[in-house]
Amino acid sequence: MTSLKSLMQPHRLVLMALFAALVIWCALSLRWDWIPTYAPLALEGLWTTIWILVVTSILGFALAVPLGLAQAVGPWYLSTPARIFCTVIRGTPLLLQIWLLYYGLGSLFPQFPWIRSSELWPYLRQAWPYAVLALTLSYAGYEGEVMRGAFSGVAKGQLEAAKAYGMPRLTMFRRIWLPQAIRNVLPTLGGETILQLKATPLVATITVLDIYAVSSRVRSDTFIVYEPLLLLALVYMAIAGVITLAFKRFEDRVPQRR
């Protein structure tokens, strides 16, 4: 009941009316006859965008945990390379990283006969492994710095109490340190995942057919500009909304420290 009253406030009603009018105008005034022709390709591009986002976010976070831990408590021979890696990743454009991997490693591998004759060659000659690698390293570089602060922010008294009880280091890390660090970074993690989604269109520059590449193909084939871009914006907003709701639900289920 409270949510319904807040929804019925005058300024919200005006905004909803304007949005409805805009949707009706777009539906009636713009061209949408190209959708049936490109729908199968768009679904393929959408699937590519989603799986690249999911895979690179999971792998990137798995790499960010040791990077953050090394910077927080690691010896200098681990903390220094981790800090350099995060600095380089955060200090260079993602597009440059993608091109260096694709045009650098991608042109270097064919020079080795043992690589060309290996079972990995059918994959290494494609563009998507380099896109996945670049986005994974980018996500790890940003989240590694975030995890460094999260690990440093866990109360030292809890760790000292666990040591006093004789808890093994690995158990202490798994049951106390890592869960609290993850809980502290959940809001930031959700934001970084949305930023990762908005970085996926860059893979189209190395011929990966994601949803953005499909939109570009529609524009080049039909010379229809605004309609594909508007639909593309709605797709990204819908995915971002799902990510936001998923992290919000997860945050609500995680016990808060008292």
Task: Give me the helices (H) in the chain, please.
Answer: 2-7, 10-29, 35-73, 76-91, 94-99, 106-108, 113-116, 121-124, 128-153, 156-164, 169-172, 178-199, 211-222, 226-253
- pLDDT the model gives residue 168: 77
- pLDDT the model gives residue 8: 62
Return averaged pLDDT per consecutive 10 residues of the chain, 258 residues in all. Answer: 57 72 74 90 96 96 93 89 95 95 87 85 90 96 91 76 75 80 87 95 94 93 89 92 90 66
Q: Which residues contact 98 (CB under 8 A, 6 or more apart)?
A: 130, 131, 134, 135, 202, 203, 205, 206
Q: What is the C-alpha to C-alpha distance for residues 70 and 81, in angstroms, rounded to an integer?
A: 9
Residue bearing tokens 């280091």: 169
Instruction: Please name which of 141, 140, 151 lies closest in space to residue 185, comparing C-alpha atoms.
Output: 151
What six digits make up the tokens of 255? 């016990």
pTM for the structure as a whole: 0.87
Whole-number Cα distances in Å, 172 to 62, 163, 177? 18, 8, 6
- pLDDT the model gives residue 12: 66
At 252, the amino acid letter reads: D
- pLDDT the model gives residue 98: 96
Encode burial over 97-116: b for 16+ CB neighbours within 10 A, e otherwise: bbbebbeeebeeeeeeeeee
- pLDDT the model gives residue 149: 87
